[in-house]
Chain A
Amino acid sequence: MVQVDAGTLFFAAIFTNNILLTNFLGLCPFLAISREVRSGLGLGAAVVFVMTCTAVLNYLVYYYILVPLNLVHFRFILFIVIIAAFVQLVEMTIERYFPALYYVLGIFLPLITVNCAILGASLFLIIREYTLLQSLAYGAGSGIGWMIAIIAVGAIREKVQKSAKLPRGLEGPALTLIITGVMALAFIAFSGMIQIQ
């Protein structure tokens, strides 16, 4: 069992062990979307919601269904199915009640399903043997961390694209990756902050 309290884990998931900047997860939509802060915010919020809920759901399914039945090797299939179903649910809800948001997010909603970060968060919390409360904190923290990363990089990209004259070939993925690298470097500075003892 892990002794760290949920609050510390929550902060650690956002800053010191950011699921994108430290564990490289969730890069695909990140590279495609982060052009604008606004879409990053919308997508980020959706990801936070999905990640938190699926972290809890997958925890419950794993410990109350898979483990007792000795079917843990099916966790990959079951987790992704739960995530896909949940995203479908969210998509239907947004379409019905927030049509404007639905229009903005467009195709990116179903893409949340294949966002490695969401499946990754569930897999990590199993490996690290978190409790239910810790899983909740970790899921929420990871989602928020991802959102912060995507917004921050989006903001920098917006500024850079507007004002700077870029060398040949740098535009696009290359620039985003280098910016992300610098961000990852900056976030490493946070690692002294959290004492998980």
Chain B
Amino acid sequence: MAKALKGSQIFVRGLWDDNPVLRQVLGICSTLAVTNLLVNTLVMNAGLIFTVTMSCLTVSLLRKYTPMRIRMMAQTLIIASYVIIVDICIAAYLPDISEALGPYVGLIITNCIVMGRCEAFARNNPPWPSFLDGLAMSLGYSAVLLTIALIREPLGFGTVLGFRIMPAGFTPWTIMIMAPGAFFTLGLLAWFLKAYFPQVTEANKER
């Protein structure tokens, strides 16, 4: 059982020391696909942050009542419900983006990070720390994906959020829009960070 951490410590840990994406490159499935456009990434991240924080909060609130054997089922139900709510809200208020995102919003359910935090932290800790943990982890995750989007969109489309930022003569690197571009960008990012900030990627090995 981890010793009780202060709120701010939890927050920093989620953002940097224990950043889920950089440490293990986990949970990227659902969002990597939409990182070729910044606005889609932003919306997906908002959905993920909502889902993770609310799920962690709920799991934590219910932790004393949930029987051990069915906790995975319960967690899945909770997570899936929040994801559906996110999906409905995006469809209602951002219909164009909803179409662009397609099934990827639903895939937040299988995002390892959501389940991971619920399992690793929220079910053993009080609500407020769990909420902070969820928030920090999802923010850390979002930061990495936004970085990727900030590389892919300008290079692939020449725009950021739809505004042209590359000079007119720039030939877009179409490969950045397609799958290999995402893999290379994330791979290079992971390599860079692992080489120059090893404590980020190697810390807390017992986890």
Which of A24, A80, A178 is close to B110, meaning CB atoms less than 8 Å apart? A80
Q: Are A177 and B196 in contact (CB under 8 A)?
A: no
Q: Are B183 and A181 in contact (CB under 8 A)?
A: yes
Q: Are A24 and B88 in contact (CB under 8 A)?
A: no
> CA A26 – CA B30 in complex, angstroms?
9
What's the least CB distance linking B120 to chain A, in Å? 14
Task: Judge if B128 is at the interface, Cβ distance under 8 Å.
Answer: no
What's the least CB distance linking B18 to chain A, in Å? 15
Main SS at interface, chain A: helix
Residues of B within 8 A of A (CB): 24-30, 32-33, 72-73, 76-77, 80-81, 83-84, 87-88, 102-103, 106-107, 109-112, 115, 175, 178-184, 186-188, 190-196, 198
Q: How many A-B residue pairs have CB under 8 A?
A: 133
- Cβ contacts under 8 Å, A27 to chain B: 25, 28-29, 32
* Best-surrounded residue of B27, B102, B194 (most CB of chain A within 10 A): B194
Q: Are A182 and B180 in contact (CB under 8 A)?
A: yes
Question: Can you name the residue of chain B whose Cβ is closest to the Cβ of A23?
Answer: B33
Task: Judge if A6 is at the interface, Cβ distance under 8 Å.
Answer: no
- Cβ contacts under 8 Å, A182 to chain B: 180
What's the least CB distance linking A82 to chain B, in Å? 12
Q: Are A168 and B30 in contact (CB under 8 A)?
A: no
- Cβ contacts under 8 Å, B77 to chain A: 77
What's the least CB distance linking A14 to chain B, in Å? 15
Given contacts A24-B29, A84-B76, contact A177 B183 (CB under 8 A): yes
What's the least CB distance linking B175 to chain A, in Å? 8
What's the least CB distance linking A95 to chain B, in Å? 17
Question: Can you name the residue of chain B whose Cβ is closest to the Cβ of A28?
Answer: B112
Q: Are B180 and A177 in contact (CB under 8 A)?
A: no
